[in-house]
Copies of this chain bind each other. A is one copy, B any other.
Amino acid sequence: MVAPDAQRSAPPRAFRPSGKVLPEHARGHNRSLVLQTLYRGGLASRADLARETGLTRVTISDLVAELMNDDLVIETGQRGESRPGKPAILLDINRTGFQIVGVDLSETGVFRGAVLDLDGTVVTRLEVETGGASGAEVTRIATRLTLELVAAADRPLLGVGIGSPGVVGIDGTVLSAPNLGWEGEPLQATIAQATGLGVVVANDANAAALAERSFGDAQGDLMLIRVGRGVGAGLIVGGTLLHGSRFAAGEIGHVVVGTDGGALCACGKHGCLETWLAVPHLRDGLAQAASASERDAVLHRAGERLGIALAPVVGALNLDEVVISGPVELLDGPLLGAAIETFRTRTMPEFHGALAVRMSALGQDIVMRGAAAMVLAGRLGVS
């Protein structure tokens, strides 16, 4: 179903470039502040918002009027409680008034996508097989999937978010994604051209980390480890995603772990993290295992290597959480336990006492929900 106004232009971007700051930038910031407060806290009156943000009621009224004019905020009636004084008119973000398209290109052989509402809830889901496609053919498949999702939306779209494997530049160019046969692929520009919408592209592990922050249980600084055909990570430090100087932050799959050799990796080195932890290697190891205890040993070894590799990172960044995303049947159990145990024995008690290591609860939707979170952050300043 295509709504007539599904491609209506969305409100202006809430992003402040570095450099000079004009009054209008401050306005944008305060706009986002109001949206953020409503997004996190739910229903609130104008007076509530004034108290929470520190702005005056007058300014809040003005900002809310602007946001209601953009259809981003709606009045939901009077507050029920019986209190002295004039009853408050409750406000909320128009959570079902806009939608977002989120796409996940990281799975082997299949691209997933969804139409989501502003809460990150999946409204419509689509999948396409990619077969053995690569290069320009992959771009065509991804574009077609995105267009179908755009057509499936029945509300104005806030934008399109895409999580891609490989190294992704800040401008949404996929600098390198060997699995898809991409090298310097201008994905953001291509999809923006095809859809006429705002498009954000990021690495899949980074998108997953954002999902964990926005829709998961994450509290503070966190590292999300994504285990699939390869191993990647996304880092959120001080509330924002870490990109790295060449946009390659989180690329830990080909760091050598331990000082005792290891299997030969596709990259030519011995003992890369991927040779222990990537799903194909885990499945191979389990297939060759004769007994249940041997299978446990394979998983235990993998978890141990993960702990060895990450202990210096956790120590150096003083992280709160390490969250693992991937096939639950492989990761949640001996592997996770061994990783936690290894952290405990290799870092300072002061740190691993505060450190939480756990599986993500977001499952297979994590990347496309993270992609939606990128759109929310980019266009509304909400996270």
Contacts and interface: CB of A to CB of B under 8 A. Distances in A.
A311 interface: yes
A51 interface: no
Contacts of A243: 238, 318
A76 interface: no
Interface stretch (A179-187, A188-196, A255-263, A357-365): A255-263
Contact of A29 (B21, B249, B260): B21
Nearest to A314: B255
Given A260-B259, A313-B312, A316-B233, A53 B20 contact: yes
Given A21-B30, A55-B20, A269-B346, A316 B259 contact: no
Interface string A23-40: 101100110010000000
Contacts of A221: 244-245
B248 A220 contact: no
A310 B308 contact: no
A366 interface: no
Interface string A210-241: 00000000001101000000000101011000
A255 B311 contact: yes
A176 to B, nearest CB: 8
Interface stretch (A97-105, A131-139, A348-356): A348-356
Interface of A: 19-23, 25-26, 29-30, 33, 53-55, 220-221, 223, 233, 235, 237-238, 242-252, 254-260, 267, 269, 308-313, 315-320, 345-348, 350-351, 354
